[in-house]
Amino acid sequence: MEFSDFVTSLGSDVPPDGVADLLRALWLDAKGDFDAAHGIAQDVDTSDGARVHAYLHRKEGDLPNARYWYRRAQAPAESGSLDGEWEKLVRHLLG
């Protein structure tokens, strides 16, 4: 799947078939369902899971918690736009 296809899928009521959990979390986040996105991210015990988790807490405004998850991901804390971070994560996860 290409990034543009993923973005286009946001016009649908359901995430694209077969997307990985973290992509589904970011899809749900873009659709405004923070709780569902957070529920997925917190259950993925990988560096990528920690990055998505950090992004979600940064977006909600819980910066201390976000910094904790960036450290868990062994990644620098993001300081750019939230939209830019979302795109960066999606592109990374699409590989």
pLDDT in tens, 71-89: 999 999 999 999 999 999 9
Query: By C-alpha distance, which of 25, 77, 69, 24 is closest to 50?
Result: 69
pLDDT at residue 61, as a whole number: 96
Sorting pLDDT into bands at 50, 70 and 90, what band is 1? Answer: very high
Q: What would the pLDDT profile of 52-73 be if each residue is shown by its tens digit?
A: 999 999 999 999 999 999 999 9
pLDDT at residue 28, as a whole number: 98
Helices (H) and strands (E) in the chain, counts: 6, 0
Torsion of CA 49, 55, 56, 58, to 10 degrees: 140
Radius of gyration of the chain (CA): 12
